[in-house]
Amino acid sequence: MQPLVGLIMGSKSDWPTMEHAANMLDKLGVPYETRVVSAHRTPDLLFDYAKTAAERGLKVIIAGAGGAAHLPGMVASQTSLPVLGVPVQSKALNGLDSLLSICQMPGGIAVGTLAIGNAGATNAGLLAAQIVGTFDDTVRKAIDEFRAHQTQTVLDNPDPRDP
């Protein structure tokens, strides 16, 4: 299936976080590709990836990075596709560095920033699916079903002491 979402990250070490985005895309039936694309270790690849993303059929890019996390902003500077940035939880500063690097974009180039770590990656997958759902009814239905199931699970388990 033609990938609609590009799921990229600065390092293989980001995968344990970013796989949560992949899991959500899998769950919602959204085709995606995933690659390591580093802003500082492979800058030429970053430019090539971002510049060709739209013509290759991608509709949205999820970019995860940690520390001095310039990957999402640099990708956004080279494509008009929506870019969702996931701040990976760094060891030194617990991801606050990643968060600020990604969310504090100067006005003029937009990056949608998610929460630090696993929750952010999960929601990046969800938000990417919601973007795809604006033109793909099957994906929108899968999102509606996911949310209905999530709601029902809470309602069916009201006692917090139950396992």
Binding residues for substrate: 11, 14, 41
3-state class of 77 per DSSP? Answer: helix
Which 8-state DSSP code applies to residue 160?
Answer: T
4, 5, 7, 14: residue in contact with ligand RP5 (rule CB under 6 A): 14
> In the complex, what is the shortest distance from the CB of residue 50 to ligand RP5, in angstroms, rounded to a whole number?
16
The helix (run of H) or strand (run of E) holding residue 83 is strand 83-88
65 binds ligand RP5 (CB under 6 A): yes
Q: How far is the CB of 115 from ligand RP5 (least distance, A)?
A: 16
Q: Using CA atoms, how far apart are residues 4 and 109, in angstroms rounded to an integer? A: 22
- Minimum CB separation of residue 110 from ligand RP5 in Å reads 20
Pairwise CA distance, residues 110 & 38, whole Å: 19
Q: How far apart are CA 9 and CA 13, in angstroms?
A: 9
Q: Are 3 and 57 in contact (CB under 8 A)?
A: yes
Of 11 and 78, which has the nearer Cβ to ligand RP5? 11
The one among 28, 37, 66, 120 contacting ligand RP5 by CB under 6 A: 66
Question: What residues line the site for ligand RP5 (CB under 6 A)?
Answer: 9-11, 13-14, 38, 65-67, 88
